[in-house]
Amino acid sequence: MGAKDASREEAAHIAALEDLQDPGWAWSEYKPSVSAPWDLARVGHLYRRAGFGANWAQLQEALSQGPGPTIDKLLQPQGDLQAFEREYAVYEGSAMSVNDLRAWWVRRMIQTPHPLLEKMTLFWHGHFAINGENVKNTGAMLQYVRALRGEALGSFRSMLNSVCRDPAVLLGVGSGASRKSMPNDNFAGAMLESFTVGPAVCSQTDVSEAARAFTGWFVLRGKVRYIEREHDGGVKRILGQSGNFTGEDVVRIVLEQDAAARAIVTKLYKYFISEGQEPDAKLIAPLAESFAGDYNILKVVETMLRSNIFFSQAAYRGRIKCPVDFALGIVNAFEGMVSTTHLAEDIAALGQDLYHPPTIRGWPGGRGWISSATMAGRSNLAWSLLGGSKPYGERLDPWAVAQKHGASSLESAAEFLVGLLLGDDAADGDCETLIKTVQAAGGAKPQEQLRRFAYRITSLAEYNLC
Amino acid sequence: MDYTRREFLRGAAGVSIAGSYVTGAALASKAESGGSRSDKSGNILVVVQLSGGNDGLNTVVPYGDDEYARNRPTLRLPQDQLHKIDSYIGFHPRMESFMRLYKAGHLSIVQGVGSPNPDQSHENAMRMRHTADTEDLYRQRGWLGRAVDNEYPAGRVDAPAVFVGPIARPFALNAGSVIVPSIRSSGDMVAVQIPGQTGAASEKRTAGGDESLPDFVRQCRAKAYANSKRIEAALAGASGSADYPAAKLAGDLRTAAQLIRAEVGIRIFFVEIGGGGIGGFDNHANQKGNHCSLVGQLSESIAAFVGDLRRDKLLDRVLLMTFTEFGRTVKENGRRGTGHGIAGPAFLVGGAVSGGLCGRHPSLTDLQNGSLKMGIDFRRVYATVLDGWLGIESQAVLDKRYEPLDFLDT
């Protein structure tokens, strides 16, 4: 790269940063322009962040309809959601183990008419991160994820209140019994330090006092019970307020803190926009203020998805795909269905064991997903999905999909895959080199060659970014 | 004591680290040279979990005490078949391989290892061994997870630890910031090579340098390919022909040996014998045959592993330790089995162990709930391994200082 190019790029970079400092620009609705066109790259970006990737028909429909209607549909899908939920209620109700639930959830993510809802459920699973290993109750774990889904795009206030009564959450943090004579700090600590305001805002005393407010709640035979005589009715002092508070009061008090709204909005920013640097406080402020007013999750997610900053270079490929995104991006692009019992297990081996987040803080994410070991694991998973042999078989067939969408030669099919998987956006010359090496290896039918090419694309850095 | 709460606080302190990754080049050089504690940074730990609660008394048998035979009318092992260590104890008849390792000075026995807060439930007792916390069952991370979090706070190109085996990853490896993968064989660490693939990264690096996300991914991918080649070379070389018994544990240890030989940066391997859940070493009835088979597998698999490593002069870099959730009752029950107990032996194997016995054998008459009392807190074994072998500050992992044991050569 010449010096001139470098300085031009630098100038563009600075300009972009300046825009990011301006919350007014950042959160205004994105309108396609010459410098930020509504192209395959941006459509792919939207589907990666708001869902688990897309197939060709979805990408094309979004391209022709424009950002507004596409985002409308992601927020409020038109399909028969209730029928889908009824169907999955039967499947999940029949699960014999948490690993069965895990497989059903992966299947749900692939088949759902409302991918954003599952993406948000996954977000909340990483926020109220309960490890099934600590709960050892399949029914309670199902109920817990259902409750998260129920409010995933609803009210954060309702979600917090339901979390206080959730047997899996209480068991998972070690608060199955909270007696008047022995208040249990575990749930109160999780509530204040991890779920809401954060440790910078609350003290150990706040936590101990909140624990007293939560006394009386027990998990008995998998059900939450309130035992009045075990409740400490005395006066507690929590985050500057005094009163004979109950658990509901604690929820009210924490939600009165600006820090709670800021923490959630910041986390959503990292999930939807960029996980690299801590976002500027000025950028977060307008959304946090609005969120603190009603704790409406859908509204803040909608603002983010429609925003300039969401479609800017600051967000584009600014996250590392989690194993779920990596695997489902392949499955969804090739319009197939594979054994999700296997897939959930393979995803777990790459570090994302659904229903078993490692700690109450969820998965570390970011660069933590990637090491030489997990990159080898990702390669092997991609090839077992795309290679046409066991355990996933021939369910995913890049050649058939490319032909279905008009490709007739290996070259045109390869070009199609670059559009489908990378939004036509790879480092200069990479894809040309890949297709040449695949062709040069020869000795195989186009179907086999395209399998190899698709696999090679998934090993590119670009495919591993979200 | 409120450890879970402290975990939250510590986790919070760790959050800021995520934004300040060490550059890839610096990481790679750390991986090569091993950072500050260069003397121990190449050392490798292999942890073997004996699931179900091993009967220590029928593993290292105190035949010299009449109480042993008296308490074990059907389970007692014939004295003349034991591999005698001294006039008091001897290895189970099927543990001839351990006797050889012991004579060669490659095996230390820590006697009377137990928990100060013994728990009769498999789940609770195992959780305590996994978290190294005997008070709080809801501790968020395992002891090895905390060790890798502390040692590699800024991430690492190579995974610092892996679990090898077909069961769910044991909680000991539960980390807050590091992903600890599960593998079933070395093949899982070999990135598939398809025709036409050179293995070399085809993409150019962007101008941004090592700190950009794409370059970080490329760097890890390039290392994955380089590691794959080394693993394949290791598979084709000596370890391919090494003689291991057919036991599952032997297969998992063979995998560990292959990856150690390939030098792919893994410092902690975790393997398991007994099947993970209840079962395995948990013999409440008709214990003899099953236990005999398990200790035979244990000793032969580990001996094969040692032989394999020694051939390539790798034994001095590797320390293997065993643990189990609890010992068993001294007295057998009426069903030719034993109940859940407290203390039992741990084995330390490798080129750097001092060999011999560590700690006294617990009394067979001064019992607690019918079981041998704890002589050595299991966390002293962990602390010695962390400080003395891995060079990872044990106090930060285990919350306090435990007196080191003398099973390592100094």
Q: Of the given ranges (A32-46, A186-200, B272-286), which has the lowest mean pLDDT?
A: B272-286
Span A216-220, mean pLDDT? 97
3-state secondary structure (DSSP) of residue B99: helix
Q: What are the strands of the beta sheet with B60-61, ordered from one edge?
A: B60-61, B90-91, B83-84
Residue-level pLDDT at A16:
61
Span B187-197, mean pLDDT? 85
Span A162-180, mean pLDDT? 96
Domain span at residue A449 reads 323-464
The reply to whether B158 touches chain A by the CB within 8 Å rule is: yes
Q: Is B167 exposed, middle or buried (0-12, 13-18, 19+ CB in 10 A)?
A: middle
- Which positions ≥6 away from A74 have C-beta within 8 Å? A46, A50, A51, A115, A116, A305
Total Cβ atoms within 10 A of residue A343: 28
Chain segment B296-315, per-residue pLDDT in tens? 999 999 999 999 999 989 99
Residue-level pLDDT at B27:
39
Is A413 a member of any domain?
yes
Give the integer Cα–Cα distance in Å for B400 and A269: 38
- Is a pLDDT exceeding 90 seen at residue B137? no
Q: Which is more confidently placed, A7 or A130?
A: A130
pLDDT grade for A9, boundaries at 50, 70 and 90? low
Contact status, residue A331 vs residue A323, Cβ threshold 8 Å: no
Question: B138 and A173 in contact by Cβ < 8 A?
Answer: yes
- Is a pLDDT exceeding 60 seen at residue B275? yes
The reply to whether B26 touches chain A by the CB within 8 Å rule is: no
Query: One-letter amino acid identity for A311?
Result: F
- Which positions ≥6 away from A6 have C-beta within 8 Å? B207
Residues A335 and A238 in one domain: no
Alpha carbon separation from B132 to B114, B380, B395 (Å, rounded): 11, 10, 12
The reply to whether A445 touches chain B by the CB within 8 Å rule is: no
Give the integer Cα–Cα distance in Å for A308 and A294: 23
The reply to whether B5 touches chain A by the CB within 8 Å rule is: yes
- Which positions ≥6 away from B395 have C-beta within 8 Å? B401
CATH code for the domain in which residue B79 is found: 3.40.720
Chain segment B30-39, per-residue pLDDT in tens? 344 434 444 8
**Out of B191, B195, B216, whose CB is closest to A367?**
B216
Question: B5 and A9 in contact by Cβ < 8 A?
Answer: no
Last residue of a domain, one of A208, A240, A255: A255
Q: Which residues of B touch A460 (CB under 8 A)?
A: 203
| Residue count of chain A | 466
Contact status, residue B197 vs residue B220, Cβ threshold 8 Å: no
pLDDT grade for B18, boundaries at 50, 70 and 90? very low
The reply to whether A184 touches chain B by the CB within 8 Å rule is: no
Give contacts of A 399-428 with B, CB under 8 A: 427-428
State which residue of chain A sits closest to B220, comparing Cα positions: A372
Percentage above 70 pLDDT, chain B: 85
The reply to whether A366 touches chain B by the CB within 8 Å rule is: yes
Question: A318 and B136 in contact by Cβ < 8 A?
Answer: no
Span A273-300, mean pLDDT? 95
> Which one of B141, B212, B221 makes the best mutation probe of the A interface by having the most chain A beta carbons within 10 Å?
B221
Is B19 a member of any domain?
no
DSSP characters for A355-402?
A: T--SSTT----GGGG--HHHHHHHHHHHHHHHSS-TTTTTS--HHHHH
Q: Is B17 exposed, middle or buried (0-12, 13-18, 19+ CB in 10 A)?
A: middle
Chain segment B332-354, per-residue pLDDT in tens? 999 999 999 999 999 999 999 99
Span B181-210, mean pLDDT? 71
Contact status, residue B153 vs residue B14, Cβ threshold 8 Å: yes
The reply to whether B212 touches chain A by the CB within 8 Å rule is: no
Is B16 a member of any domain?
no
Residue-level pLDDT at B154:
76
Span B119-137, mean pLDDT? 95
- Is a pLDDT exceeding 70 seen at residue A367? yes
Question: B203 and A369 in contact by Cβ < 8 A?
Answer: no
Residue-level pLDDT at B26:
41
Span A304-324, mean pLDDT? 96
Q: Is B399 exposed, middle or buried (0-12, 13-18, 19+ CB in 10 A)?
A: middle
Residue-level pLDDT at B149:
95
Residues A211 and A337 in one domain: no
- Is a pLDDT exceeding 90 seen at residue B250? yes
- Which positions ≥6 away from A168 have C-beta within 8 Å? A130, A132, A135, A137, A140, A141, A143, A144
Q: Which residues of A touch B215 (CB under 8 A)?
A: 461
Give contacts of B 41-60 with A, CB under 8 A: none
Residue-level pLDDT at B241:
65
Q: Which residues of A touch B18 (CB under 8 A)?
A: 364, 366-368
Domain span at residue B175 reads 38-398
Percentage above 90 pLDDT, chain A: 87
Is B164 a member of any domain?
yes
Chain segment A402-411, per-residue pLDDT in tens? 999 999 999 9
The reply to whether A380 touches chain B by the CB within 8 Å rule is: yes
- Is a pLDDT exceeding 80 seen at residue B19? no
User: Chain B: nearest CA to A65, how far in angstroms?
Assistant: 31
Residue-level pLDDT at B37:
40
- Is a pLDDT exceeding 70 seen at residue A14? no
3-state secondary structure (DSSP) of residue A177: strand
Question: A373 and B156 in contact by Cβ < 8 A?
Answer: no
**Out of A351, A353, A375, whose CB is closest to B191?**
A375
Span B373-383, mean pLDDT? 98
Give contacts of B 248-287 with A, CB under 8 A: 264-266
Give contacts of B 79-138 with A, CB under 8 A: 123, 136-138
- Is a pLDDT exceeding 70 seen at residue A214? yes
- Is a pLDDT exceeding 70 seen at residue A343? yes
Is A357 a member of any domain?
yes
Last residue of a domain, one of A203, A236, A255: A255
Is B187 a member of any domain?
yes
- Reading the block at residue A32, the tokens are 């396609």
Chain segment B62-118, per-residue pLDDT in tens? 999 999 999 999 999 999 999 999 999 999 999 999 999 999 999 999 999 999 999
Residue-level pLDDT at B25:
40
Contact status, residue B296 vs residue B95, Cβ threshold 8 Å: yes
Give contacts of A 57-116 with B, CB under 8 A: none
Is B20 a member of any domain?
no
Alpha carbon separation from B115 to B133, B378, B386 (Å, rounded): 10, 6, 18
Q: Is A90 exposed, middle or buried (0-12, 13-18, 19+ CB in 10 A)?
A: exposed
- Is a pLDDT exceeding 60 seen at residue B361? yes
Span A44-54, mean pLDDT? 98
Question: A350 and B176 in contact by Cβ < 8 A?
Answer: no
Give the integer Cα–Cα distance in Å for B290 and B12: 46
Question: B195 and A433 in contact by Cβ < 8 A?
Answer: no
Percentage above 70 pLDDT, chain A: 95
Is A410 a member of any domain?
yes
> Which one of B16, B17, B156, B179 makes the best mutation probe of the A interface by having the most chain A beta carbons within 10 Å?
B179
Is A220 a member of any domain?
yes
Residue spans of alpha helices (H) in B44-95? 66-71
Identify the H or E element spanning A194.
none
The reply to whether A198 touches chain B by the CB within 8 Å rule is: yes
Number of domains in chain B: 1
User: Chain B: nearest CA to A291, how far in angstroms?
Assistant: 23
Give contacts of A 201-220 with B, CB under 8 A: 204, 207
Is A249 a member of any domain?
yes
User: Chain B: nearest CA to A182, how far in angstroms?
Assistant: 13
The reply to whether A177 touches chain B by the CB within 8 Å rule is: no
Residue-level pLDDT at B242:
76
CB pairs under 8 A between A and B: 206
Residue-level pLDDT at B155:
74
Is B406 a member of any domain?
no
User: Chain B: nearest CA to A461, how far in angstroms?
Assistant: 5
Number of domains in chain A: 2
Q: Which residues of A touch B145 (CB under 8 A)?
A: 358
Chain segment B214-241, per-residue pLDDT in tens? 999 999 999 999 999 999 998 887 655 6
Last residue of a domain, one of A255, A284, A313: A255
Contact status, residue A122 vs residue A268, Cβ threshold 8 Å: no
Block residue for tokens 């850095």: A461
Residue-level pLDDT at A439:
82
How high does pLDDT run on average in chain B?
A: 88
Contact status, residue A369 vs residue A377, Cβ threshold 8 Å: no
State which residue of chain B sits closest to A200, comparing Cα positions: B12
Is B27 a member of any domain?
no
User: Chain A: nearest CA to B107, how far in angstroms?
Assistant: 31
The reply to whether B191 touches chain A by the CB within 8 Å rule is: yes
Exposure b/e, A126-146, CB count within 10 A at least 16 = b:
bbbbbbbbbbebbebbbebbe
Question: A133 and B171 in contact by Cβ < 8 A?
Answer: yes
- Model pTM score: 0.89
Chain segment A402-450, per-residue pLDDT in tens? 999 999 999 999 999 999 999 999 887 888 888 888 888 877 899 999 9
Is A426 a member of any domain?
yes
- Is a pLDDT exceeding 80 seen at residue B3? no
pLDDT grade for B14, boundaries at 50, 70 and 90? very low
Give the integer Cα–Cα distance in Å for B180 and A368: 10
Is B127 a member of any domain?
yes
The reply to whether B213 touches chain A by the CB within 8 Å rule is: yes
Residue-level pLDDT at B212:
86
The reply to whether B394 touches chain A by the CB within 8 Å rule is: no
User: Chain A: nearest CA to B174, how far in angstroms?
Assistant: 6
